[in-house]
Amino acid sequence: MRLRDTLRSGLEALLGHGLRSLLTILGILIGIAAVILTVGLGEGAQSSVNSAISALGSNLLVITPGSSVSSSGVFAGFGSATTLTLADADALESKRVAPNVSGIAPTSQQPGTLTAGAANWTTSVVGTTASWVQVRDRQVAEGGFFTRAQVKAAADVTVIGATTAQELFGGEVPIGQTVDDGNVSLTVIGVLTTAGSSGSTNQDDMALVPITTAQQQIFTSGSSLSDVYATAINAAALSGAYQEIDDELLALHHIDQPSAADFTITTQDQLQSTANSVNRTLTDLLAGIAAISLLVGGIGVMNIMLVSVTERVREIGLRKALGAAPGEIRRQFLVEAASLGLIGGIGGVGLGVVGAIVIPHFESSPITISAFAAVGAVVVAMAIGLVFGVYPAARAARLSPIVALRTE
């Protein structure tokens, strides 16, 4: 029997039961669409987290207070201790101590409600130094950033993010205006360019003030820092910078054992891999659930193929009497089952692509469907059809032509 004839007889049998074939295909289609969308959602989330992390700056190291592993071996939350001070940051700025470090930006952060005229807006008030703008790789859109002198003098100035500016001043020019945080009046001297939102934190909604001003006038708690951002002079210098910071802070804090450190240094790569591994676990879980629906679709194919074999006992008997070998009957039914899977797979990828375009309009999560995932999904769908078609096809091939012809 020619391949063309095998394909034709299989497809004709499918068309002969249009509605039934369609419903079976639907089972596979929904399963494939679910898998491809959850995987796409995972990939989309991963790329948005990655771009958020790289938006933090380049060659960045983040020093946070507290140990990642406490002496008792129990995990303490990041930032749960208050061990980093401005003096630590000042020490790291020395070229002699840390030649591989090109910039240090200590930050201290608290939520605060700013008022400007009738408008008020709750945002994140960040106390930092003049090098923040360089370390975090940000630009000032209007006005300028505060200077070292202004930090030293604890000047009442602030640089705000684009969102904050919009909320407080609407269309007005913010530069030169005054915002109040509690009793302190701050003059807006600059607005940052937009950097986009990165997952949980909006990089465009903040009010930067000199750290001295923050600690002396605005913040209620003492002089501890929430993070110290450091940049290495280049990518190759990252590990050197890491070592220098580690050594210097251990020495300043009088700690002998590196394992007993009361601070944690995290590189951008580590941030990325931590975020990705959390992401991957979630994606795997969702894809696993979606795969179960695909399995159910496969069982649907098997069910319908068994019905089809029972229904066509006479046809199979006749084909055998006319000279069809068992293998030829088997192939005809396998073509039918594989076609159900293939059509379901193509339809499922189609539905997934439509979903990837439509869903982000309602949910703020981007969905990325790669060509690899699409092709893989179609291949998997066809394989599911084939695998679940093996048993029904074998049953058809085993039918005795005598018994089959006698059936009325």
Partner 1 sequence: MAAEPRDPAARVPVMFDDEPTLPIVPAAPGPPGRRSIIAIENVWKTYHPGDLAVHALRGVTFGVSEGEFVAFMGPSGSGKSTLMHIMGCLDNPTSGRYLLDGQDVSALSEVQLARIRNRRIGFVFQSYHLLPRLSASRNVELPLVYAGVAPDQRRQRALAELTKVGLAERVQHRPTELSGGQQQRVAIARALVTNPAVVLADEPTGNLDSQAAIEILDLLRTLHRAGRTVVLITHDADVAAVAERIVQIRDGQISSDSGAA
* Residues contributing to the site for partner 1 (CB under 8 A): 1-2, 4-5, 9, 12, 16, 314-315, 317-328, 401-402, 405, 408
- Name which of 199 and 327 has its Cβ closer to partner 1: 327
Q: Given CA atoms 295, 298, 304, 309 in this order, what sign does their dihedral have?
A: negative
Residue-level length of the chain = 408
DSSP 295-307: HHHHHHHHHHHHH
Residue 21 Cβ vs partner 1, minimum distance, rounded to whole Å: 14
Residue 378 Cβ vs partner 1, minimum distance, rounded to whole Å: 28
Residue 1 Cβ vs partner 1, minimum distance, rounded to whole Å: 5
- Give the integer Cα–Cα distance in Å for 93 and 101: 8
Count Cβ neighbours within 10 Å for each residue of 276-310 and write b for 16 or more, e otherwise. Answer: beebeeebeebbeebbebbeebbebbbebbbebbe
Question: Phi and psi (nearest 5°) for 291?
Answer: -65, -30
DSSP 308-367: HHHHTHHHHHHHHHTT--HHHHHHHHHHHHHHHHHHHHHHHHHHHHHHHHHHHHHSS---
Residue 351 Cβ vs partner 1, minimum distance, rounded to whole Å: 30
Tokens of 197: 């939102």
Residue 19 Cβ vs partner 1, minimum distance, rounded to whole Å: 15
Q: Given CA atoms 182, 140, 53, 239 in this order, what sign does their dihedral have?
A: negative
- Give the integer Cα–Cα distance in Å for 205 and 168: 11
By the 8 A CB rule, do 188 and 135 touch? no
- Name which of 210 and 317 has its Cβ closer to partner 1: 317
Residue 37, SS3? helix
The helix or strand, by DSSP H or E, that contains position 10, with its residue range, turns out to be: helix 3-16
- Name which of 260 and 402 has its Cβ closer to partner 1: 402
Strand partners, 181: 114, 184
- Name which of 12 and 172 has its Cβ closer to partner 1: 12
Residue 402 Cβ vs partner 1, minimum distance, rounded to whole Å: 5
Tokens of 4: 């063309």
- Name which of 30 and 404 has its Cβ closer to partner 1: 404
- Name which of 181 and 336 has its Cβ closer to partner 1: 336
- Name which of 4 and 96 has its Cβ closer to partner 1: 4
- Name which of 87 and 321 has its Cβ closer to partner 1: 321
Closest CA to 107 of 253, 242, 207: 207
- Name which of 79 and 326 has its Cβ closer to partner 1: 326
Residue 10 Cβ vs partner 1, minimum distance, rounded to whole Å: 13
Residue 51, SS3? helix
State the pairing for strand pair 157-160/184-192: parallel
Residue 199 Cβ vs partner 1, minimum distance, rounded to whole Å: 58
- Give the integer Cα–Cα distance in Å for 134 and 138: 7
Residue 392 Cβ vs partner 1, minimum distance, rounded to whole Å: 19
Residue 316 Cβ vs partner 1, minimum distance, rounded to whole Å: 11
CA distances from 269 to 62, 74, 228, 239 (A): 11, 24, 17, 12
Residue 321 Cβ vs partner 1, minimum distance, rounded to whole Å: 5
- Name which of 22 and 318 has its Cβ closer to partner 1: 318
- Name which of 93 and 315 has its Cβ closer to partner 1: 315
